[in-house]
Amino acid sequence: MPPVELHVGIVGAGLGGLAAAIALKRGGAKVTILEATTELGEIGAGIQIFPNVSRYLIRWGVDEIIGDDLVEVDEVRTWGLNGEVVTRVDSKRVKRICGFPHYIARRDHFHAGLTESATRHGVNIIVGARVNSLEYSPDSVTVTTTKADSYRFDLLVGADGIRSFVRQQLFPKVTPRAPSKVAAYRGVLTREEILTKAPEAKSVLTNTMDMWTGLQSFVAADQEDSR
């Protein structure tokens, strides 16, 4: 008998959901993603993509899709309070050892690349499909959306974030860990904006990841596209 195609449903079209969808599709499954929002997209600034992840981006063709918006890091530097470099990590050497590069990308560019790759692989992405009901048996899972649309899957993957509906239904007694007392402020500036206000910054505006350490705080800066 020919093998039966497994139909996998994924709730959530974020970075994790899209990556899982591509991997499952390449493994031979039929994959459908149900995304609650009506438009695909991500919010955030830069994201580090280390060799254990970049190997899959290259394998899936995501690196070619993102193109110039994917920056290969040459070096990671940590600066002390006295303005001197405390540590250096040669990212090119890491690439030689691991076989894959260390990238930096804006989160929205990364997400767009995964979305395009998933589409090219044949993943079915349905937007505006907020799941509000879940029923399962040993053989299948049926989910229903707020629009009263029902979908039956052989397997369901919950990738719907920290307030996951899927997790709540399966593990109602599990309480997410309380937020930490650490705050992060993030932003994106163009190269021109930086050099206009601080021309001396030209020396550090290279393909590096720079971190300045302080007292119970630090500042990180990276180049998120090649322009």
DSSP string covering 13-29:
-SHHHHHHHHHHHHTT-
Does 152 reside within a domain?
Answer: yes
Please give the pLDDT value at position 200: 81
Residues listed for the chain: 227
**Owning domain of residue 148:** 1-40+127-172
Does 153 reside within a domain?
Answer: yes
Does 138 reside within a domain?
Answer: yes
Cβ atoms of 22 and 177 closer than 8 Å = no
CATH number of the domain residue 146 falls in: 3.50.50.60
Q: What is the pLDDT of residues 208-223, one digit of tens each?
A: 888 888 777 777 777 6
Does 21 reside within a domain?
Answer: yes
Name the residue with higher pLDDT: 25 or 187: 25
- % of the chain at pLDDT higher than 90: 55
Name the residue with higher pLDDT: 217 or 94: 94
Beta strands in 35-123 (DSSP E): 46-49, 70-72, 75-79, 85-90, 103-106
Does 4 reside within a domain?
Answer: yes
Supply the mean pLDDT for the chain: 88
Please give the pLDDT value at position 39: 86
Mean pLDDT, to the nearest integer, of 175-183? 78
Name the residue with higher pLDDT: 191 or 15: 15
Please give the pLDDT value at position 225: 59
Does 88 reside within a domain?
Answer: no
Mean pLDDT, to the nearest integer, of 42-50? 81
Does 198 reside within a domain?
Answer: no
Question: By C-alpha distance, which of 5, 60, 9 is closest to 35?
Answer: 9
Least confident of 84-88, 98-102, 118-122: 84-88
- Looking at the structure of the chain, the number of domains it has is 1
Q: Is the pLDDT of residue 227 over 60?
A: no
Q: Is the pLDDT of residue 202 over 80?
A: no
Please give the pLDDT value at position 168: 92
Q: What is the pLDDT of residues 76-93, one digit of tens each?
A: 888 888 888 999 999 999
Does 158 reside within a domain?
Answer: yes
Q: Is the pLDDT of residue 164 over 60?
A: yes
- % of the chain at pLDDT higher than 70: 96
